[in-house]
Amino acid sequence: MRNSRFTPLHRAIALLTFLFSMMTFAQAQTFLGTAGDHLWSNEDNWLDGLKPTGMFSEVTISSDVIVDEDVSIGTLNNAGHYSLTILSGKILMVNTAIYWGDSDFILEDNARLVHSNPIQVTIKKNISAHNDDNHLWDLIASPVREDVIPSTENGILTDPETAFALYSFDDNTTNWINYKEDPFVIENGKSYLYANAFDTTLIFEGTTVGSYAECNLSYHAGNGAYAGCNFIGNPLPCEAFLNRSYYVLSDESNSLIAVPNSATRSVAPCSGIIVNSNGLDDSEVLFDYMPFFQYLGHQGYIEITVAKSDVPTLVLDQALLSFNEGDDLAKFSLFEDAPRVYFSNANKDFGILSIDSVIMQPLKFKVEKNGNYTLHFENSNNDLDYLHLIDNMTGDNIDLLTAPNYSFSAKTTDYASRFKLVFDPHYGVEEDGPSTGSETFAYYANGEIIINDVETYHGASLQMVDMTGRTVWSETINNRDGVHTVSTMSSGIYVLRLKDGNTIRTQKIVIP
């Protein structure tokens, strides 16, 4: 991780700030703590009852102070060895300078400090004990530049030792490193899986990196789907925006939630995320306390979330079909029992897939546990006239613009290409897809012939015959997901011939 103070955006901001400050009279206020409660919001604690009123105010602290409201000032001075504490959920923005010395500067859980220069701080993060009623894992990150050595004093380790779990992801080997087996330090700019059987408060003591910073990304071509998987963390002591889409842990912490490139989404302090590097030329990601201008061209997306049907508010996994260029985000599966909803393109799986214009888009779904699930669709910032979900197993055709939820039963043996999204009312179901008709047993999508009921037809023979009666392709139905690749076939109309014992079924199929 390194500080990135001189990007063109920040040069412009710094210049505007300087010019504005030259035209603005800097008011000076002094915090005396006269009222005895040490609260910033209490006017009785300020000299002559005058609280700071402007972003360029000069503030002097002559007593311990508790910041209990959102504050934006210019300069902060410590007149002695007084402490400052920012309460949870509150933000202190210092736009010019902080003169503090070695006195305590404390940020409670989810408190935020925005300041461009380094300052010595103590930052806290509360971790709730895991149990049957809440999630197990947190993805934690350090907001200070110095390496943090886990200990019982900073709350990361626990006595007894069996109560905590701490893991680091090795992006070179895609292996998890267990702290108990191979101890490591907590580095700024990285994230770590953490859990504890007890309520605990993690304490990060060190120097902040400012209000914007870059984190390095790695890419290992030999790691397959995990080639660009990077566990990085918010390196700032405040909520941060970044210039790409990313993953966070789901509410149940057993799968990953895709977060789109958006000016309204930020990463909380002390929190980790997962990003995907697209190659050696994609080696860094920028965190900033402000949204990036690139979001002004946001074209919207379709958000698909999966939940258990009996707990529809608990999101287990998520994927997005994006109408924004460059939003692609590879799909990672970190937990064995997680349901997966995702898109495929060019033999790769995506949690976020960018599209321009499309008539039909396959939507893949797999589970590791049989059960009842619900898909919820939310169309954000895109005015669609038609959006239907087709269930290739049941033949259900759902108008998602009027009924955005679809509940269904799923088995581990179901093929992944169960669903498809249709954007054109003229899309030919007869040519490519399921039907309630008795003769339809397969459909074509993206270079694949997909069998609707693979369990029923397991072991049967499948042939493709062209319009001259010549058999051009044949296979036995014995794969788990019922998918057969025919991407090398020429465009045209074919007949599928399925022989199952003494029963022969035929179906017309069109390869566009």
pLDDT in tens, 321-372: 988 877 888 888 777 677 889 998 877 889 999 887 788 899 999 998 899 9
Please report, for residues 75, 111, 247, the alpha-carbon distance to residue 237 in angstroms, rounded to integers and kept in the order given: 18, 8, 20
Please report, for residues 173, 228, 300, 337, the alpha-carbon distance to residue 319 in angstroms, rounded to integers and kept in the order given: 26, 18, 14, 17
More confident residue, 283 or 498: 283
pLDDT for position 24: 47
pLDDT for position 497: 80
The Cα–Cα gap between 465 and 495 comes to 5
Instruction: Kindly report, residue by residue over 74-130, the tens digit of the pLDDT.
Output: 999 999 999 999 999 999 999 999 999 999 999 999 999 999 999 999 999 999 998
The Cα–Cα gap between 304 and 340 comes to 11
The Cα–Cα gap between 307 and 318 comes to 9
| pLDDT above 90 as % of the chain | 47
Residue 425 preceded by cis peptide, ω within 30: no
Q: Is the pLDDT of residue 4 over 50?
A: no
The domains of the chain are located at 2-117, 133-195+210-296, 299-427, 429-512
The Cα–Cα gap between 246 and 257 comes to 8
Judged on CB neighbours under 10 Å (0-12, 13-18, 19+), 228 is buried
Residue type, 455: E
Q: Is the pLDDT of residue 133 over 70?
A: no
- DSSP for 244-279, written as a single string: S-EEEE-TTSSSEEEE-S-TT--BPTTBEEEEE--S
Structure tokens at 106: 């404390």
Structure tokens at 498: 């399925």
Instruction: Kindly report, residue by residue over 403-458, the tens digit of the pLDDT.
Output: 999 999 998 888 788 898 999 877 643 333 333 334 567 878 777 888 777 667 77
Q: Is the pLDDT of residue 45 over 90?
A: yes
Instruction: Give the β-pairing of 120-127 and 105-107.
Output: parallel
Which H/E stretch holds residue 474? strand 471-476
Q: Is the pLDDT of residue 314 over 80?
A: yes
Give phi and psi for 222, each to the nearest 5: -80, 0
The Cα–Cα gap between 136 and 253 comes to 6
What CATH class is the domain 429-512?
mainly beta
Mean residue pLDDT of the chain comes to 85
DSSP E strands, 271-322: 272-276, 284-288, 301-308, 311-322
Instruction: Give the β-pairing of 442-445 and 448-451.
Output: antiparallel
Contact predicate 205/122, CB 8 Å: yes
